[in-house]
Amino acid sequence: MDIFAFLLLQIINGSNWNPVFGESTKYKNRISVLDLKTCLECRKRHGTIWIINEKVDEEPPLYNNCRSVIIPLKIVKLGTATINGINGADWSLKYDKKLPEYYITKGEALKKVGILNLEI
């Protein structure tokens, strides 16, 4: 996870959020160093995700000094994706197959911001 995504999640979840990161056993992705020296091909392929045993068309390095790699997808471990721990949405979706009771529907959210004027 890059630093900007981590900081955004810290802002959303609060400073008490302490996620546990890991590596996926199901997916892999291509990561490239993105700067002014990154070629268009690597920039285009950056972030591509495959199933772990899926064949990749062209494995990096594509050329000398290529700064791309294919690594297991970084994940946030179950129960640590929100400050609610095992009461969070990630845990509920995995084990209860539904969102927690405190979540509102899309219609309720739209109504709250004044986009939807229908009774729900």
The stretch 58-69 carries a mean pLDDT of 93
The stretch 48-57 carries a mean pLDDT of 94
The stretch 41-45 carries a mean pLDDT of 95
Q: Is a pLDDT exceeding 90 seen at residue 99?
A: no
Place of tokens 């095992």: 86
Give pLDDT, residue 2: 64
Pair 21, 1: CB distance under 8 Å: yes
pLDDT tens digit sequence for 8-40? 766 766 667 778 889 999 999 999 999 999 999
